[in-house]
Amino acid sequence: MSPVFSETERARIAEQLLDTATRLFSTQGLRKTSIEELTAPAGIAKASLYSFYDSKEDLYFETALRQSEEIRRRVIDEGLRKGTDTRDALRRFLRATVTELDTNPLYRRLMTHPEEMAAVAARLTPERMAAAAGGPMSDLLEFISTRLEGDPQVLLGVLRAVLLTPLHAEHLGPDSYPAVMDRLIDAVTEGITSC
């Protein structure tokens, strides 16, 4: 029998689970994070996780969804949509996304370990996965489709290629990395908007 939690306890435990999951999934990933590691800080038994989430994968998914809205606000609303023109909008988007990759460990993990989200998708229902439909990349694809000439998927691929660079920042060196990113973003946005 599942324990009964008051409304206040449920809210506190749910928040603690999400905070712990964000930290552990960011550093250890899905497979290496145990249910016990997730539940201990909340002060609940391992089996009690299932009173809140259907599975560890469901908690991972919820953690990613929580990040998704914050990321969308920063990279789409404050980046892409505030540009003065198409080129400026793309620059703002890329710079905001690079900042996310540099400062947000969970977002970086999601970008560098797509197999984790595939494992999550395999355990969730299609209806649950539909909650993640869209996201910053779909907003970007819509923007590209309406503002740029050329195959939108190819153009999206070019922009994604820029976003792989932060994952190799250590190879560029801390002194060169910011300047490399600025030049790369300028060159790519100039190139794809000049066609």
Q: 115 with 19, same domain? A: no
Has residue 87 been placed in a domain?
Answer: yes
Q: 106 with 189, same domain? A: yes
Rounded distance, CA 134 to CA 91, Å?
A: 21
Q: 179 with 112, same domain? A: yes
Q: What is the mean pLDDT of the chain?
A: 92
- Give whole-number Cα distances, 18 to 23, 62, 160, 192, in Å: 9, 8, 28, 39
pLDDT tens-digit readout, 124-147: 888 888 877 767 788 999 999 999
Q: Which positions ≥6 away from 102 have C-beta within 8 Å?
A: 108, 166, 169
pLDDT tens-digit readout, 32-61: 999 999 999 999 999 999 999 999 999 999
In the structure, what pLDDT confidence band is assigned to residue 2 with cuts at 50, 70 and 90?
A: low
Taking the model in full, what pTM does it have?
Answer: 0.83
